[in-house]
Chains A and B, each alone.
Chain A
Amino acid sequence: MFEKTLAELAQGLNSGEFSSVELTQAYLQRIKEQDSHYNSYISVTEEQAVAQAEAADARRAKGEAGPFTGLPIAHKDLFCTEGVRTSCGSKMLDNFISPYNATVVEKFNQAGAVTLGKTNMDEFAMGSSNESSFYGPSRNPWDTDRVPGGSSGGSAAAVAARLAPAATGTDTGGSIRQPAALTGITGIKPTYGRVSRFGMVAFASSLDQGGPMTRTAEDAAMMLNVMTGFDPKDSTSLDQAVPDFTADLNQPLKGLKIGLPKEYFGEGIDAGIAEQIQAAIKEYEAMGAEIKDISLPNTHLAIPAYYIVAPAEASSNLSRFDGVRYGYRCENPVDLEDLYKRSRGEGFGPEVQRRIMVGTYALSEGFYDAYYKKALQIRRLIKQDFANALAEVDVIMGPTTPHPSWKLGEKSADPVAMYMEDIFTISLNLAGLPGMSVPCGFSNGLPVGLQIIGNYLAESRLLNVAHMFQQATDWHTKAPEGLA
């Protein structure tokens, strides 16, 4: 049962092979037995899950089941869930029982999905390893001494360890794609604005985007069918028709033009990763795709620009955590300033404080033009790079990350080294483009992700390109050894 994809589980529910309650209880039991190895969940919502499963079974009995009814998933712990702790991996929100649901959560609830729990994450989604979580790091099921990536590391670990068939994640600079790559699963960051940000606790508003983390492209399409769509509560939500993302999965790829940016294949990339990506490209060639060398000349500026834009927005977004209306409040504040400084100083971990300070500095008087404005100009250059490239090719491919998963603690002392792990993912967030990571092999036994980048609103195309690869290869079916 735990090897089944969402699509296969949906079939099982439809055929009556098992009920949603049986399925849900099996997963809850497995989480109970296994998650101590991975620490992928912050909260397991057993009672609600069973109640939702019962409701789903009743709905099915009445013949009112939709494609997602009864399917269990997990939510990254920054999607607000009414009546359930929504911690963002932070001490600041350890006591925060959200009084409302995020639009994404509401959509899954309405589709009849079952929420197994809330997954671990880097604090406020700031990190690439899950090590900044207040609840301790989640661990990579392929090697529990190693990180699952971040910030959606708990979602990635849960899906890879078969503790959830699928999970939601969010991606501000690679936080869906990078952990998907590091744990050997499939993840897609849709076009900015496709998925409502309402109720998704903000890290960097102009970069954040929710998306699915699944075992297959087909499952990702099923998730997107539920998650996406215009939301009047989010001013940046796209008022665009939502296609059936599963409709075009099997389109043949003959004539597909794939661009390979030379900047994604340079020095500093793990040899095993380079090898696997080349092999994947060969696979596409075999399917009739045409390969073209392209250039994204401003790639090296993406990380510098991102580490101004994201911290600047974050420094302002996180000002609301002040110990007044919700969240952590320090003991016995002597005055207002003490209330603010200790609540925030004690409630936020070091990486969050570091980024708040970088952002505060970049926006402060006298530095705005040199940092913030400059970063926004670079951002346009990066967007233009992609526009030029995507005028010539259908999709762009390369490695999702320069290295496979690393040991816990290995990069903790040097934040800049950690930041560099997002070098290939970050530029898409700056441009707002959709991107995907699919498993394409192993380097020294650790999963490797192939990144596929498409034009705005081209999610169906990306899913099609990924699905056809998964029809031709079996990398996505590999499970870590030692899984029970």
Chain B
Amino acid sequence: MEWEAVIGLEIHAQLATKSKIFSGASTAFGAEPNTQACAIDLALPGTLPVFNAEALRMATMFGLAIDAEIGRTSVFDRKNYFYPDLPKGYQTSQLFHPIVGIGHVDIQLDDGTTKRVGVTRAHLEEDAGKSLHEEFPDMTGIDLNRAGTPLLEIVSEPDMRSAAEAVAYVRKIHALVTNLGICDGNMAEGSFRCDCNVSVRIKGEEKFGNRTETKNINSFRFIEKAILGEIERQIDILEDGGRITQETRLYDANKDETRSMRSKEEANDYRYFPCPDLLPIVIDEEYIEQLRATLPELPDARRERFVSEYSLSDYDAMVLSADRYLSEYFETAATAAKDAKLAANWVMGEVSKHLNQTDTAITGAPVSAEMLGGLLQRISDNTISGKIAKQVFEAMWAGEGDADQVIEAKGLKQVTDTGAIEAMVDEVIAANQPQVDQYVNAEPEKRGKMIGFFMGKVMQASQGKANPGQVQGLLKQKLEQLV
């Protein structure tokens, strides 16, 4: 029997406003508990919300970026439930009239095809605070710093059919919100969170199976693993003749499994109704057109431009165009290096490797794009070899200066003086008679490969500084003479 997964995603993107959605408290991450929770955030009696203009702008920008209907009149509703991290006893959200209506994004699949995924809606709401369960032995501690941070909840259609498609979709939304500058995209800090609705059905069936919602997933990798695990779990149950319980599950990254959230089992009755403390948000054509004019270049357009402008491969263009800051870094480095392909290789290679190893964002890289461009120029003009360049890059990353300073200080300048190289070649030939004999007696077509041994020796002797092209040419010439 062939099974098919049906996946829909709810993404919560924290909007990168300075202050909260309904109060003037700061949204900065990592402050001492409750130092960024003002009287309004604490829901003190008598306090009232006033809506943040920037949250509206950011939500509208997202709507324009996914080609969605923008709600000309959107309304805040109250979602009523009791929880200690929800100070008012209701979450202010938008149920009946969201700010962003139906839209779509295109995702690129591994087989090179493109798939369109529908976005049902995106609405504004306030984030809850945090419950800290480990702080005290018998009590839970409540930190309301996060309470009232603006969120855009982006709800997809159940259009995805595999974990890979789901991840591609999440990456696309992530790329969009970071490119728009409306979310910092930091998944570890919870600025970008994802709930996955997963069900399975026999391929070809139209009816959806019972679905589960998995919450608390905070990395692309975990999204993939959580969905793969959940699909497998559901198929196992169904193949054993069981039924899928519609429920909320929690992903445990340590055990790489999902488990049922018992506390949320009780069916909720949220008693939504329009928030009487807030009035309808009405926006006009002029506002929308003004924002449309400020839309930055988005990843899809940038990808195409990278292919045409820099002759990058589709894959390289996709990787480099997704993140706004990474693409800016690449373009700056490419311009400075005057070699886009070389810059692309370095950004995707050494730069990405170092960022991952040190868990650094591209915006915090100790080697700026300009500095990288300077380094790459030294490769292009044969001052150093590619291999030495990696050594130089390490030193630059460690803060030892720009490329020229490091090359100078460490004396890494490439040796291009023919006389000097020739002397080293002669020395190596003289010191390795057995290998020379092998070379001389070998079939001519095998000799090319054998040069590698002598290359290594010469480069070693020059501490990597000899120009590899010159070395190779001289070696070939001298060895052939001995044949």
Which residues of chain B come closer than 8 Å to A204, judged between CB atoms? 276
Q: With A and B bound together, what is the CA distance between A80 and B45 in angstroms? A: 8
Interface residues of chain A: helix, strand, loop or mixed (majority): loop
Which residues of chain B come closer than 8 Å to A62, judged between CB atoms? none
Known contacts A99-B39, A235-B51, A235-B279; decide if A316 and B80 are in contact (CB<8 Å).
yes
Give the nearest-CB partner of B42 in chain A: A325
Interchain CB contact under 8 A, B84 and A88: no
Interchain CB contact under 8 A, B82 and A198: no
Given A99-B44, A340-B82: 4 more A-B contacts, CB < 8 Å = A235-B278, A236-B276, A236-B279, A321-B45
Whether, in the assembled complex, B237 has its beta carbon less than 8 Å from a beta carbon of chain A, the answer is no
Which residues of chain B come closer than 8 Å to A312, judged between CB atoms? 273
Which residues of chain A come closer than 8 Å to B446, judged between CB atoms? none
Count of chain A to chain B residue pairs whose CB atoms are closer than 8 Å in the complex: 103
Interchain CB contact under 8 A, A365 and B277: no
Whether, in the assembled complex, A57 has its beta carbon less than 8 Å from a beta carbon of chain B, the answer is no
Within 8 A of A (CB), among B3-58: 39, 42-51
Contact among A80, A200, A233, A316 for B50, CB-based, below 8 A? A233
Q: List 20 A-B contacts (CB under 8 A).
A: A80-B46, A86-B45, A93-B45, A99-B44, A102-B46, A204-B276, A232-B50, A233-B50, A234-B50, A236-B48, A316-B271, A316-B273, A319-B88, A320-B88, A325-B87, A326-B42, A336-B140, A360-B271, A363-B271, A368-B271
Contact bitstring B290-328, A, C-beta under 8 A = 1, else 0: 000000000000000000000000000000000000000
Known contacts A99-B39, A316-B271; decide if A202 and B46 are in contact (CB<8 Å).
yes
Interchain CB contact under 8 A, A316 and B45: no
Known contacts A235-B51, A319-B82, A363-B80; decide if A325 and B273 are in contact (CB<8 Å).
no
Which residues of chain A come closer than 8 Å to B46, judged between CB atoms? 78-80, 86, 98, 102, 197-202
Q: With A and B bound together, what is the CA distance between A232 and B23 in angstroms? A: 12
Which residues of chain A come closer than 8 Å to B78, judged between CB atoms? 316
Contact bitstring A416-431, B, C-beta under 8 A = 1, else 0: 0000000000000000
Interchain CB contact under 8 A, A372 and B273: yes
Interchain CB contact under 8 A, B48 and A234: yes
Which residues of chain A come closer than 8 Å to B273, judged between CB atoms? 312, 316, 363, 368, 372
Q: With A and B bound together, what is the CA distance between A234 and B49 in angstroms? A: 7
Q: With A and B bound together, what is the CA distance between A320 and B43 in angstroms? A: 7
Contact among B43, B47, B90, B142 for A198, CB-based, below 8 A? B47
Whether, in the assembled complex, B456 has its beta carbon less than 8 Å from a beta carbon of chain A, the answer is no
Within 8 A of B (CB), among A117-163: none
Whether, in the assembled complex, A205 has its beta carbon less than 8 Å from a beta carbon of chain B, the answer is yes
Whether, in the assembled complex, A387 has its beta carbon less than 8 Å from a beta carbon of chain B, the answer is no
Show the binding face of A for B, using Cβ within 8 Å.
78-80, 86, 88, 93, 96, 98-100, 102, 197-202, 204-206, 232-236, 312-313, 315-316, 318-322, 324-327, 336, 340, 360, 363-365, 368, 372
Q: With A and B bound together, what is the CA distance between A320 and B39 in angstroms? A: 12
Give the nearest-CB partner of A313 in chain B: B276
Give the nearest-CB partner of A327 in chain B: B45
Interchain CB contact under 8 A, B82 and A316: no
Q: With A and B bound together, what is the CA distance between A98 and B42 in angstroms? A: 13
Which residues of chain B come closer than 8 Å to A99, judged between CB atoms? 39, 44
Within the complex, the shortest CB–CB distance from A19 to chain B, in Å, comes to 33
Which residues of chain B come closer than 8 Å to A199, judged between CB atoms? 46-47
Interchain CB contact under 8 A, A319 and B276: no
Q: With A and B bound together, what is the CA distance between A364 and B45 in angstroms? A: 24
Which residues of chain A come closer than 8 Å to B80, judged between CB atoms? 315-316, 319, 363
Which residues of chain B come closer than 8 Å to A102, judged between CB atoms? 46
Give the nearest-CB partner of A324 in chain B: B84
Which residues of chain B come closer than 8 Å to A364, judged between CB atoms? 269, 271
Within the complex, the shortest CB–CB distance from A101 to chain B, in Å, comes to 10
Which residues of chain A come closer than 8 Å to B42, judged between CB atoms? 325-326
Q: With A and B bound together, what is the CA distance between A96 and B39 in angstroms? A: 14
Which residues of chain B come closer than 8 Å to A202, judged between CB atoms? 45-46, 277
Contact bitstring B67-95, A, C-beta under 8 A = 1, else 0: 00000000000101010100111100000
Give the nearest-CB partner of B273 in chain A: A363
Which residues of chain A come closer than 8 Å to B84, judged between CB atoms? 322, 324, 336
Within the complex, the shortest CB–CB distance from A377 to chain B, in Å, comes to 14
Contact among B48, B82, B278, B279 for A197, CB-based, below 8 A? B48
Interchain CB contact under 8 A, B39 and A319: no
Interchain CB contact under 8 A, A324 and B142: yes
Interchain CB contact under 8 A, B89 and A320: yes
Q: With A and B bound together, what is the CA distance between A439 and B88 in angstroms? A: 40
The 10 A-B pairs of least Cβ separation, nearest first, read A319-B89, A363-B271, A205-B276, A206-B276, A199-B46, A320-B43, A201-B45, A201-B46, A80-B46, A365-B269
Which residues of chain A come closer than 8 Å to B90, judged between CB atoms? 316, 319
Give the nearest-CB partner of A92 in chain B: B45
> Which residue, B45, B51, B272, B278, has most C-beta atoms of chain A within 10 A?
B45
Q: With A and B bound together, what is the CA distance between A199 and B47 in angstroms? A: 6
> Which residue, B88, B90, B271, has most C-beta atoms of chain A within 10 A?
B271
Q: With A and B bound together, what is the CA distance between A67 and B51 in angstroms? A: 35
Which residues of chain B come closer than 8 Å to A100, judged between CB atoms? 39, 44
Q: With A and B bound together, what is the CA distance between A99 and B46 in angstroms? A: 11
Contact among B43, B48, B88 for A233, CB-based, below 8 A? B48
Give the nearest-CB partner of A196 in chain B: B48
Which residues of chain B come closer than 8 Å to A313, judged between CB atoms? 276
Give the nearest-CB partner of A124 in chain B: B45
Within the complex, the shortest CB–CB distance from B89 to chain A, in Å, comes to 2
Q: With A and B bound together, what is the CA distance between A43 and B88 in angstroms? A: 27
Give the nearest-CB partner of A204 in chain B: B276
Which residues of chain B come closer than 8 Å to A368, judged between CB atoms? 271-273
Interchain CB contact under 8 A, B276 and A320: no
Q: With A and B bound together, what is the CA distance between A199 and B46 in angstroms? A: 4
Within 8 A of A (CB), among B250-284: 269, 271-273, 276-279
Q: With A and B bound together, what is the CA distance between A368 and B77 in angstroms? A: 14
Known contacts A205-B277, A368-B273; decide if A320 and B82 are in contact (CB<8 Å).
no
Interchain CB contact under 8 A, A322 and B39: no
Which residues of chain B come closer than 8 Å to A198, judged between CB atoms? 46-48
Q: With A and B bound together, what is the CA distance between A75 and B82 in angstroms? A: 32
Give the nearest-CB partner of A101 in chain B: B46
Q: With A and B bound together, what is the CA distance between A324 and B140 in angstroms? A: 11
Interchain CB contact under 8 A, A235 and B271: no
